[in-house]
A and B are shown apart, each in its own frame.
Chain A
């Protein structure tokens, strides 16, 4: 077990394109770190540099106390689960899992004992004599995991291990991976583009964009206190709404309506600026008719025309189109494209209570929880309302969560 320390890591390909640009990241001993970002953001490249399958152009990579920049993969003592599992088709499940031990020339009885233990842990005992070709997707995935955990590696690296599974299995394996990592307490770096995996698995999440590290923090921190537009838009589903707003004293005039900034800190952040981008999560909206008077006071109520509604049973989404200035529209579309989406029109996505009777095509009153809004600089994308105190508090909270999760697994569930 070891910490992984990356300092100013750069990966430049032959054409001079920096796939990973000046990334500094500390993965602490035993920590579950998620690398997340849209496709092509350099997350897999970074992972492959940790494991040694990709050369490091510049910067320093440490595993434990050792600088491993020029150490061959087989000498780094890391184990990896590949996206397509990379099982050895000519070997049985037993031999697949035993492969790293055989290479390390372990005595036969030790190999048998450890492979049997691992197989028991992953419920593969009945399949040990089968070949990978005869296994289901989930079983193959578990074999790949088995091969990774069978030896005492310093860290586990996962490269989108669940992306080839169907939704249901993915959910099961996700909890399985979380449980396993906490039980074994091994440093883990996990690459994914899936938000749910990022939010549920990670002790901390590192968001990458075009090879540049945007923010590292606990899932809660990323969600509540995003550092910039990109992180705010990337984390959360559906994405955060960005509304252009002109500042008039402590009042923000948005295409959806005007509302007052009551929070002094936020008012101060917007003061002196003409135009800002207001970030509002879909959850910050509610059907005004369903909001009690006391709560109503704490936010603002706007009258809008709802374009489309989607009723999902447990909740309901409404789409509210709005007009925005040309230059900001272009900026927002560019952002949406970067986030692997392609929003054609400027519209706000609003999450309503499932019981809300709002009908598409009609005017409706929406209540906005203005306490949850963020204000972004439209030019740099920086979050002007990030609360450092709250960030620190969230940091302490995530430490507690992490310790509790590991403790829960150490005791072990009644099995």
Chain B
């Protein structure tokens, strides 16, 4: 009785949340398949005539393809560098006793809470002075510093889960500290490293504020920023459908990755929360 009701409740709530979250994505997908002129002229959620035209337009535009290359490159580099840093820092935090350990952790947390927007102005000035404005490193550096805290916290939770004995066993077996770290600790923390990598990648991939403020040309502008510069076929036409197509192109990989690795991501985020 009670369980049946509870189950029904759960299903109802889940459905509500599902609709709430899926609807916008579905809407964008639908818009991306409509003809450019359809919006504002014909009503309806589904396209009247399904067309790939928008996708063709998007991929033929240099603006988008260049931005896509930038986005992929910048996000990947930031992820790799960030995760390597985070792994080392998290390991030190989880394993070593050193003065200032708590300071580093609280500092990392403070950075994570710091409003990104308030930094954009100063960074803009600074980057222009040092010549980083509108370059890949100009975006990679702030991405890393803002993605690090979350990665460090996730990873240090993971490292703490790994029994000390693993490492001691490796040392007794003849491994140096570095070998023990590389051959035992990192493989064991792989799910955590993976989670941290995915989270960092999403952060970089989805960023708009830095992307639009610290770039001015195709040299470094990432996709989310580039979307804002889309124009229609003529001045009388809104580029809505093309923008939607581009949005789908950059959203779909994220959705697919999350679906594929959701178990791991959840495991990574909740590790350390309860005793396994």
Closest-CB distance, A22 to chain B (whole angstroms): 26
A74 touching B171 in the complex, CB below 8 Å, given contacts A88-B184, A103-B179: yes
B166 within 8 A of A: yes
B188 contacts A103, CB within 8 Å? no
Q: Which of A53, A77, A103 contacts B168 (CB 8 A)?
A: A53
Closest-CB distance, B276 to chain A (whole angstroms): 12
B4 contacts across to A, CB distance below 8 A: none
B188 contacts A74, CB within 8 Å? no
A82 contacts B174, CB within 8 Å? no
Closest-CB distance, A48 to chain B (whole angstroms): 8
Q: Which of B168, B173, B179, B184 contacts A147 (CB 8 A)?
A: B173
A137 within 8 A of B: no
A74 contacts B168, CB within 8 Å? no
B184 contacts across to A, CB distance below 8 A: 88
- The 8 A CB mask of A44-80 against B (1 = contact, 0 = none) is 0000000111000000000000000000111011111
A103 contacts B166, CB within 8 Å? no
A74 contacts B176, CB within 8 Å? yes
B166 contacts A73, CB within 8 Å? no
A99 within 8 A of B: yes
A82 contacts B173, CB within 8 Å? no
A103 contacts B175, CB within 8 Å? yes
A271 within 8 A of B: no
A84 within 8 A of B: yes
State A110–B170 Cα separation when bound (angstroms). 20
A51 contacts across to B, CB distance below 8 A: 172
State A72–B169 Cα separation when bound (angstroms). 13
B172 contacts A53, CB within 8 Å? yes
A73 touching B188 in the complex, CB below 8 Å, given contacts A99-B173, A103-B174, A147-B173: no
B187 within 8 A of A: yes
B165 contacts A82, CB within 8 Å? yes
Give the contact-size bracket for chain A.
Answer: 20 to 34
B24 within 8 A of A: no
A100 contacts B174, CB within 8 Å? yes
State A153–B107 Cα separation when bound (angstroms). 46
B115 within 8 A of A: no
- Chain B residue at smallest Cβ distance from A84: B165
A171 contacts across to B, CB distance below 8 A: none
A168 within 8 A of B: no
- The 8 A CB mask of A93-122 against B (1 = contact, 0 = none) is 000000110011000000000000000000
State A88–B190 Cα separation when bound (angstroms). 13
A90 within 8 A of B: yes
A289 within 8 A of B: no
From residue 138 to 181 of chain B, which have CB atoms closer than 8 A to chain A?
163, 165-166, 168-176, 179
Q: Which of A74, A86, A89 contacts B174 (CB 8 A)?
A: A74
- The 8 A CB mask of B182-193 against A (1 = contact, 0 = none) is 011001101000
A74 contacts B169, CB within 8 Å? no
State A58–B98 Cα separation when bound (angstroms). 24
- Chain A residue at smallest Cβ distance from B166: A86
B175 contacts A90, CB within 8 Å? no
A86 contacts B168, CB within 8 Å? yes
Q: Which of A73, A104, A147 contacts B171 (CB 8 A)?
A: A73
Closest-CB distance, A300 to chain B (whole angstroms): 53
State A51–B165 Cα separation when bound (angstroms). 13
A74 contacts B166, CB within 8 Å? no
A86 touching B169 in the complex, CB below 8 Å, given contacts A74-B176, A103-B179: yes
Q: Which of B165, B166, B172 contacts A78 (CB 8 A)?
A: B172
- Chain B residue at smallest Cβ distance from A79: B172
B176 contacts across to A, CB distance below 8 A: 72, 74
State A103–B179 Cα separation when bound (angstroms). 8
A53 contacts across to B, CB distance below 8 A: 168, 171-172
Closest-CB distance, A156 to chain B (whole angstroms): 11
A79 contacts B188, CB within 8 Å? no
State A99–B174 Cα separation when bound (angstroms). 9
State A77–B163 Cα separation when bound (angstroms). 22
B174 contacts across to A, CB distance below 8 A: 74, 77, 100, 103-104, 151
Closest-CB distance, B204 to chain A (whole angstroms): 29
State A99–B165 Cα separation when bound (angstroms). 15
State A79–B170 Cα separation when bound (angstroms). 10
Most A CB contacts (10 A, CB to CB) among B163, B166, B172 go to B172
Closest-CB distance, A410 to chain B (whole angstroms): 28
A52 contacts across to B, CB distance below 8 A: 171-172
State A147–B184 Cα separation when bound (angstroms). 15
State A288–B1 Cα separation when bound (angstroms). 69
A151 contacts across to B, CB distance below 8 A: 174
A100 contacts B173, CB within 8 Å? yes
- Chain A residue at smallest Cβ distance from B179: A103
- Chain B residue at smallest Cβ distance from A82: B165
Closest-CB distance, A93 to chain B (whole angstroms): 15
State A80–B165 Cα separation when bound (angstroms). 11
Closest-CB distance, A232 to chain B (whole angstroms): 35
The 3 A-B pairs at the shortest CB distance, nearest first, are namely A86-B169, A86-B165, A100-B173
Interface residues of chain B, those whose CB is within 8 Å of chain A, are 163, 165-166, 168-176, 179, 183-184, 187-188, 190
Q: Can you list 6 contacts pairing A with B, beta carbon distance less than 8 Å? A: A53-B172, A74-B172, A74-B173, A77-B174, A88-B169, A99-B183
Identify 15 new A-B residue pairs, CB closer than 8 A, beyond the known A72-B171, A103-B179. A52-B171, A52-B172, A73-B171, A74-B171, A74-B172, A77-B174, A78-B172, A82-B168, A82-B169, A88-B170, A89-B188, A90-B188, A99-B183, A100-B174, A104-B174
